[in-house]
């Protein structure tokens, strides 16, 4: 199904060049060509095939715990989709739609102090996000800007730094740690999963609000996804380990001055624990594609459901 001009050598070269530019994160990508052939090319083929059925913009959800390599994988898919299939691809993260710091301060005072920390459902501007994906899918596409969030200052970037989308994309890769997550049953919220919930959410106000957001506003957004790819980690403990690696990259590249130490990261990932564990239970059955990642952070297997 590849374009007749599909040049494997060219794709391979761009793939290897990209990986070598990702210095810290290149460690998990040791068997580079094996991964290209076993994972990235079949994934790209699946995405392209889905687009070519109707030639309408397709939204690909790419989800998995923190530090699973979503950004790296998104960029590799974009390279292949462009070179092998001539498909215009736009990538953005659910993280770019975090509410501003001042908005989160208001929610933290009104509902729960835990909403000051970005991450969970309820800390994103769902109205803006829904509108953005809807606009990208529309046939009568108009030029638009997609927000950018600067984690180093914990606030949204100025509008002149937003991503400018000038022409209608064929493929939209929408990535994020909780993309595609589904709500839990109310009774499952009763027992705290960690010290954070036990000490700072003993009345269950925060987790109930997060769950309610998943049921309503986030479900509406996730329904716009055409194909969901789930990056499955061996267990939640690996999320903490790989999140440390991400923070190390931030420190070394000097992107901003608000990085976290190990203890702060340990506290930070507690906010993500409940939903991540629930996703590990539910998404292997419901996602269109499941990629298992081993304990050494390598892509291990791929399953098309």
The yes-or-no verdict on residue 184 having pLDDT over 50 is yes
Handedness of CA 166, 171, 177, 180 (dihedral sign): positive
Query: Would the pTM count as exceeding 0.75?
Result: yes
Instruction: Please give the helix or strand (H or E) that residue 90 lies within, else none.
Output: strand 89-93
Whether 26 has a pLDDT exceeding 70, the answer reads no
**% pLDDT > 70, the chain:** 93
β-bridge partners, 172? 59, 90
Q: Is the CATH number 3.40.50.300 carried by domain 47-304?
A: yes
Res. 255: pLDDT tops 60:
no
Q: What mean pLDDT is predicted for residues 212-230?
A: 98
Higher pLDDT, 233 or 1: 233
Question: What's the mean pLDDT in 252-259?
Answer: 62
One DSSP character per residue, 56-73 reads: --EEEEEEESTTS-HHHH
Residue 26 or residue 38, greater confidence: 38
Residue 65 Ramachandran class (φ > 0 left, ψ -120 to 50 alpha, else beta): beta
Q: What is the mean pLDDT of the chain?
A: 91
Q: Who's near 282: CB < 8 A, 6+ residues apart?
A: 182
DSSP 184: P
- Find, among 60, 106, 107, the residue nearest to 213 by Cα: 107
DSSP string, 111-166: T-GGGGSS-STTSB-HHHHHHHHHHHH-SS---EEE--EETTTTEEPPGGGSEEE-
């Amino acid at each position: 199904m590849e374009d007749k001009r599909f040049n494997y050598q060219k794709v391979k070269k761009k793939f290897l060049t990209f990986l070598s530019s990702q210095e810290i994160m290149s460690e998990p990508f040791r068997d580079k060509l094996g991964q290209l052939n076993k994972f990235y090319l079949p994934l790209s083929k699946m995405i392209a095939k889905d687009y070519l059925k109707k030639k309408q913009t397709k939204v690909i959800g790419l989800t998995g715990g923190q530090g699973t390599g979503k950004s790296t994988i998104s960029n590799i898919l974009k390279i292949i989709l462009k070179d092998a299939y001539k498909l215009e691809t736009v990538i953005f993260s659910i993280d770019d739609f975090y509410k501003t710091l001042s908005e989160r301060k208001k929610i933290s005072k009104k509902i729960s102090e835990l909403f000051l920390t970005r991450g969970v459902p309820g800390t994103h501007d769902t109205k803006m996000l829904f509108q953005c994906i809807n606009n990208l899918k529309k046939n009568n596409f108009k030029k638009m800007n997609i927000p950018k969030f600067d984690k180093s200052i914990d606030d949204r970037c100025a509008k002149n730094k937003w991503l400018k989308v000038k022409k209608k994309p064929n493929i939209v890769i929408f990535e994020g740690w909780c993309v595609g997550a589904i709500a839990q049953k109310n009774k499952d919220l009763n027992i705290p999963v960690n010290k954070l919930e036990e000490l700072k959410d003993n009345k269950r106000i925060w987790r109930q609000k997060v769950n309610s957001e998943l049921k309503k506003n986030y479900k509406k957004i996730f329904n716009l996804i055409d194909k969901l790819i789930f990056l499955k980690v061996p267990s939640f403990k690996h999320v903490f380990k790989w999140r440390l690696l991400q923070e190390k990259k931030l420190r070394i590249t000097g992107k901003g001055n608000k990085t976290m130490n190990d203890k702060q990261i340990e506290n930070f990932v507690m906010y993500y624990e409940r939903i991540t564990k629930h996703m590990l239970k539910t998404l292997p059955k419901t996602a269109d594609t499941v990629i298992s990642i081993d304990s050494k952070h390598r892509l291990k297997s791929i399953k098309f459901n």
